[in-house]
A and B are shown apart, each in its own frame.
Chain A
């Protein structure tokens, strides 16, 4: 364990890539730069964030024996202690090194898909430990803010996002959220069944969260602020849970409550083809 924990200061392998992904700065140590899938390349940001940004130094070993795992699966699992991450074609061990810093040792199949899945699991797990979370949402950029449409499958998230005229698609499926001093920031993540070309216009961007809207299909447009308990339930049903333990669940509830204290969380009742840009602008 001590050798792993010392990676940050005493690693001997060259840094192959330093990337920002889902609100987490990841330094990959490998013998040669690994190739990332295009969907993930679209979601990279410059890795020059401030000191409060969660950071992982990850030694990466290509392991061809992991190639045979089922392609297309997105299943991510962690050990009971939450320190061992298993993704399709990837294995990772995570060790805290103090503050918002971690060291990781990973084995991954030599394929961009496997590496992408490993990065997704790694960033989501680290972000959650650092007080943030990944939320299932269609998001739109409007007036330099990200607005997150949440709800169960079929609620109309993507449809609502497409009705924000003058806005740009920020993410079609998932968004990483971290909490700042008095607000929250969003990063687009890859994924979704219907990737939209225009979503790439949000590449390399972090945006303040302008609001979270729980979408409900209804005949008329109506917006209502959710109570704290309603918001907690709506947010929690949309959060990805990487660590399944009571302590991690308490952290997720606390993070959802902190988000509620920082940005408007509303119930949006809306019908098809109702323009929503003005509604978003009036949230504050």
Chain B
């Protein structure tokens, strides 16, 4: 039996294979450890915490699994936690229009 995690993601969730990059239509600044991201076409402003901003920075054509591996090394968290956080943030950033899917 496969058990869903708290975000509703399974360990073999397809999102982990997703490759993402930053949308070219945005502006971002890291300020005092927090990220401020503006998605131009929606004229929306968002703040990201340190992990969220790092996920955003790492999204340069990497897969979610690759981003999670980087988080594991940088934040001293377990592989499972890093994968869960990476998947969670990538999903949110895709919905905000801050990232785009470049899997194909």
Contact = CB atoms under 8 A, between A and B. Distances in A.
A250 B36 CA distance: 11
B47 interface: yes
Nearest to A254: B29
Interface centre among B24, B27, B43, B47 (most CB of A within 10 A): B27
B32 interface: yes
B26 A253 contact: no
A77 to B, nearest CB: 14
Given A229-B36, A245-B40, A257 B29 contact: yes
B10 interface: no
Given A229-B47, A246-B24, A253 B40 contact: no
A223 B79 CA distance: 43
B contact face: mostly helix, strand, loop, or mixed: strand
A246 B34 contact: no
Interface stretch (A12-20, A82-90, A167-175, A232-240): A232-240
Contacts of B40: 244-246, 249
**Interface residues of A: mostly helix, strand, loop or mixed?**
helix
Interface string A198-236: 000000000000000000000000000001110011001
Given A233-B45, A237-B45, A244-B40, A228 B32 contact: yes
B47 A236 contact: no
B71 interface: no
A252 B40 CA distance: 12
Interface in B46-61: 47
A236 B45 contact: yes
B18 interface: no
B36 A227 contact: no
Interface residues of A, number: 17
B32 A253 contact: no
Nearest to B39: A249
A253 B36 contact: yes
A249 B31 contact: no
Interface in B12-46: 24-27, 29, 31-32, 34, 36, 38, 40, 43, 45
Contacts of A227: 32, 34
A39 B24 CA distance: 39
Interface string A250-268: 1011100100000000000
A249 to B, nearest CB: 3
B31 A246 contact: no
A202 B32 CA distance: 37
Interface of A: 227-229, 232-233, 236-237, 241, 244-246, 249-250, 252-254, 257
10 contacts: A227-B34, A229-B31, A233-B47, A236-B36, A244-B40, A246-B27, A246-B40, A249-B40, A252-B27, A257-B29
Closest 9 CB pairs of A and B: A249-B27, A229-B34, A228-B31, A250-B27, A229-B31, A228-B32, A253-B29, A232-B36, A233-B45
